[in-house]
Amino acid sequence: MKQPLAYVHPEAKIADNVVIEPFVTIDKNVVIEEGTRIGSNATILEGTRIGKNCTVFPGAVIGAIPQDLKFRGEKTTVEIGNNTTIRECVTINRGTAAKGKTIVGDNCLLMAYVHIAHDSIVGNNCIIGNATQIAGEVVIDDYAILSGLVAVHQFVHIGSHVMVSGGSLVRKDIPPFVKAGREPVSYIGVNSIGLRRREFGNEKIREIQDVYRYLYQKGMNNFTALEAIEAEMPASPERDEIILFVKNSKRGIMRGYFPE
């Protein structure tokens, strides 16, 4: 399935039914699994691991060394899960000594011109919009959606089932199940439409809304709000996920809603 005008290093491990189009470059120490297609002019560099049934569009560069002056040539990887689509001119850098790997999970869509920097972790079923730029050591949890032209600061954590508005500058952590937008990026409600699409019932969505009323609408600081949530709301996986996210936030969570 390899075109004669493509270059594949003899040490690369390519499954038999991988499609490699003309003018592709695949370096040594690369693994590409069954059913994946590599579009013309894509460059797959040392340390890249691509799972099954992925599609890499023309012009993408996966596995380039980090844009980090602390990088000293250490052996690191980029790991792409199964069924993930990487559109035109996406760039994904491999890890550094900090974590050793950059990860993109299963069933993700990275739209054109997305950049994912060293040691970042993108979960499963995520959608990253056109020209969104993700700095180093960012964590994005499952089912998050970032619209186009979003810029994410280094070390930020974005929770599961989050929706981030296009053009947002994300400098603080965004807790799970919410919509985020405005400048500075702020809480603008629970992502109820996204949650319903993923079969969260109305009762569960109301519970999540109640948790965020404590955090963002009752005039409490985070410490007091968390105490009140734990004391007054019954435990559930969603309640506890929010509590743990806020407690473990290193950059602090985004600010609350404010009127225009």
* 256 a catalytic residue: no
**Using only C-alpha atoms, what is the Rg of the chain?**
20
Cβ pair 128, 107 in contact under 8 A: no
CA angle 246, 155, 95 (to 5 degrees): 135
Q: Which of 91, 75, 86 is nearest to 50 (CA)?
A: 86
Q: Which of 95, 115, 118, 173 is catalytic?
A: 118
Tokens of 148: 């186009």
- 240 catalytic? Reply is no
Q: Active site residue: 68, 106, 119, 173, which one? A: 119
Phi-psi map region of 216: left, alpha, beta (phi>0 left; psi -120 to 50 alpha): alpha
Query: Which are the contacts of 202, defined by CB distance < 8 A and separation ≥ 6?
Result: none
3-state secondary structure of 228: helix
Candidate list 136, 141, 142, 159, residue with the active-site label: 136
118 annotated active-site: yes
Tell me which residues are annotated as active site.
118-119, 136
